[in-house]
Amino acid sequence: MSNQTPTVLMLACPAPGHINPMMNLALNLSHNGFQVIFVTTDFAHKRINSIMVDQLGSKTIQFVSIPDGLSPDDDRTDLAKLSLSMINTMPSMLERLIEDIHLKGDNRIICVVADVVLGWGIQVASKMGIKGALLWTASAATFAMANNISMLIDRGVIDSDGKPITKNTFQLSPNMPAMDTELFFWSNIKDSETEKTIFHCFVNVLQSLDMTEWWLCNTTYELEPAVLSFIPKILPIGPLLSNSNNNTNPNSRSLGQFYEEDFSCINWLDQQSHCSVLYVAFGSFALFDQNQFTQIALGLELTKRPFLWVVREDYNRSHKMTYPNEFQGKNGKIVAWAPQQKVLSHPAIACFVSHCGWNSCMEGLSNGVPFLCWPYFSDQLYDKHFICDELKVGLGFDKDENGLVSSKEIKLKVEKLLNDENIRSRSLQVKEKLMSNIAEGGGSSENLKRFVVWLKE
């Protein structure tokens, strides 16, 4: 047993924005001499496993799955149903998995690293005498919101179901910027009953926070200094970039993807002028109706600029979006999914029209790309505020009287953003700070070393 490689079990939430940073942390641990058992749900495992195995070609990361409790035909975009099912089903499944691993004798798990969303994984680890750590894959500010739910209730900011009591601003600490009560990530999920369920699921898993001294976060001190001073226990190890470990091969697939990437867009970008292309991608969850889809298409035409637009195949298939007759698309390229980190690092990219998922934010910021922010739900509304109002490296869109972002508004904001040299300059400054953190001797790099030392003790 003493000659075995130390083994870390990583428990990943089954969504691309959670799996990507967790996968990159797994790769870092693998490079530091650990065997990693990467655990997610059966459903997510089937979607990502072939790409991951093809890419890694490594025996130091093993992919394992456990059931989420839903049937194969259930709708996993129903977040309330999925969250409840995972909490009710997966802890016992994880315990059984660990017991089976230990019985086989090939690996002895020394630590469980769980996504905070699956914080019950730490409770399972503690019960089995295994130390644990938590990873928050969003911003430190949203972590601070979650960690201070009881304070927010006591101060009358939110009720016991997480709903804002008044439309107002609040501060978690005197040194932190004021935030709007409409920015709580648990109250921006489109449906009040779903929001209530998600909130109480969060309250449940947050009980695991005090069971570990390690709260890892995909951020940096320079990016969120006030938050990290307010909660010094949060350890910034970002940016956790999905391609930072396999960026040497231009055709290498990104790890943790639910969709097959179309690499023809890289060749297309090679033919475009420097800093000329609008990259438009709204992540794996965002949905638009036909009217809004039409306005996006016409808005991209109006800009008269080259554009790379990601339109998911599953979205097109299920919602049967049609392009307007006026849309020629001659200036652009449309793909079902793009190798985003490679796209954002391409010199042809001028700006990122984004849903503002934290993973996308970190990828865009790490490449010095200005943002046009179009949040869809959850923490994305806070992320848009952070990008536009705190970092000042992007602009948001305004909706018209019909609740639509019009084609003219898209053209207007593209021109305003790309004509603002200050935004471009600030974007490049943020890039420099982020990349210095993951370089040798940088803050995030040193924090990760501290974590590795603790694991090996």
In a domain, 222, yes or no: yes
CA 200 to chain centre: 21
Please compute the mean of the pLDDT values over residues 449-454 and round it to a whole number: 97
pLDDT of residue 317: 64
**What is the per-residue pLDDT for 246?**
43
- Looking at residue 329, its pLDDT comes to 87
User: What average pLDDT does this structure show over 59-80?
Assistant: 89
Instruction: Enter the tokens of residue 127.
Output: 């019960």
Domain for residue 211, yes or no? yes
Q: How many domains does the chain have?
A: 2
**pLDDT of 77 above 50:** yes
What's the average model confidence in pLDDT over 267-275?
A: 97
Contacts of 427 (CB under 8 A, 6+ apart): 365, 368, 369, 370, 393
Indicate whether 157 and 12 sit together in one domain.
yes
Q: Measured between alpha carbons, how far is 173 from 150 in angstroms, rounded to an integer?
A: 14
Locate the DSSP E strands across 366-449.
Answer: 371-373, 394-396
Higher pLDDT, 256 or 88: 88
Q: How far apart are CA 312 and CA 434, in angstroms?
A: 30
- Regarding whether 36 and 178 lie in a shared domain, the answer is yes
Examine the domain organization and report whether 60 and 102 are in the same domain.
yes
Is residue 86 pLDDT above 60, yes or no?
yes
pLDDT tens digits, 3-41: 578 999 999 999 989 999 999 999 999 999 999 999 999
Please indicate, yes or no, whether residues 76 and 205 belong to a single structural domain of this protein.
yes
Q: Which of 46-60, 192-206, 379-393 has the highest mean pLDDT?
A: 379-393
Nearest CA to 278 out of 219, 194, 334 is that of 334
Most confident among 179-193, 244-258, 427-441 (mean pLDDT):
427-441
Instruction: Sheet with 234-236: list strands edge to edge.
Output: 61-66, 35-41, 7-11, 109-115, 131-136, 215-217, 234-236
Give residue-wise pLDDT tens across range 362-414: 999 999 999 999 999 999 999 999 999 999 999 999 999 999 999 999 999 99
State how far Cα 54 lies from the chain centre.
23
Q: What is the pLDDT, as a whole number, of residue 1?
A: 42
Residue 134 clears pLDDT 80, i.e. is over it: yes
Domain containing 373 — which CATH number?
3.40.50.2000
Tell whether 238 and 372 lie within a shared domain. Answer: no
332 and 452 in a single domain? The answer is no
Q: Give the model's pLDDT for residue 49.
A: 62
Do both 138 and 285 map to the same domain? Answer: no
Structural domain span for residue 284: 264-419
At 107 the three-state DSSP class reads coil
What's residue 256's pLDDT?
Answer: 66
Encode pLDDT of 337-360 as tens digits. Answer: 999 999 999 999 999 999 999 999
The pLDDT of 267-293, averaged and rounded, is: 95
Question: Same domain for 176 and 316?
Answer: no
Identify the H or E element spanning 309.
strand 307-310
Render 310-334 in DSSP notation, one character per residue.
E--HHHHHHH-----TT---TTEEE
Q: How many other CB atoms sit within 10 Å of the CB of residue 224?
A: 23
Tokens of 315: 């979205």
Helices in 238-379 by DSSP H: which ranges? Answer: 264-270, 290-303, 313-319, 340-344, 358-366
Residue 275 has pLDDT above 90, yes or no: yes
pLDDT at 131: 96
Residue 210 covered by a domain: yes
In the predicted model, what is the mean pLDDT of residues 155-172? 93
If asked whether residues 452 and 408 sit together in one domain, one would say no
203 and 299 share one domain = no
Question: Is residue 430 situated within a structural domain?
Answer: no
Whole-angstrom distance between the N-terminal and C-terminal Cα of the chain? 16
Amino acid at the residue 121: G
Is residue 341, in this structure, part of any structural domain at all? yes
> Residue 281: pLDDT above 60?
yes
Q: What is the pLDDT of residue 247?
A: 45
Judge whether 412 lies within some domain: yes
Asked, for residue 74, whether it belongs to a domain, the answer is yes
Residue range 216-261, pLDDT digits in tens: 999 999 999 999 999 999 999 999 986 544 444 556 666 667 788 9
Closest CA to 254 of 431, 58, 19: 19
Total residue count of the chain as it appears in this document: 457
- Whether 115 and 230 map to the same domain: the answer is yes
445 and 380 within one domain: no
> With the CA atoms of 413, 415, 416 and 418 taken in that order, what torsion angle do they form, in degrees rounded to the nearest 10?
110
Residue 104 lies in a domain: yes
Flag the least confident range among 6-15, 181-190, 444-453. Answer: 181-190
For a pLDDT cut of 90, what percent of the chain falls above it? 78
C-alpha Rg value of the chain to the nearest Å: 22
Q: Which long-range contacts (CB under 8 A, 24 or more apart) does 372-377 make?
A: 372/396, 372/397, 372/413, 372/414, 372/417, 373/397, 374/282, 374/405, 376/282, 376/283, 376/285, 376/286, 376/287, 377/188, 377/189, 377/190, 377/285, 377/286
Q: For the chain, give the mean pLDDT.
A: 91
Alpha helices per DSSP H over 148-187: 149-154
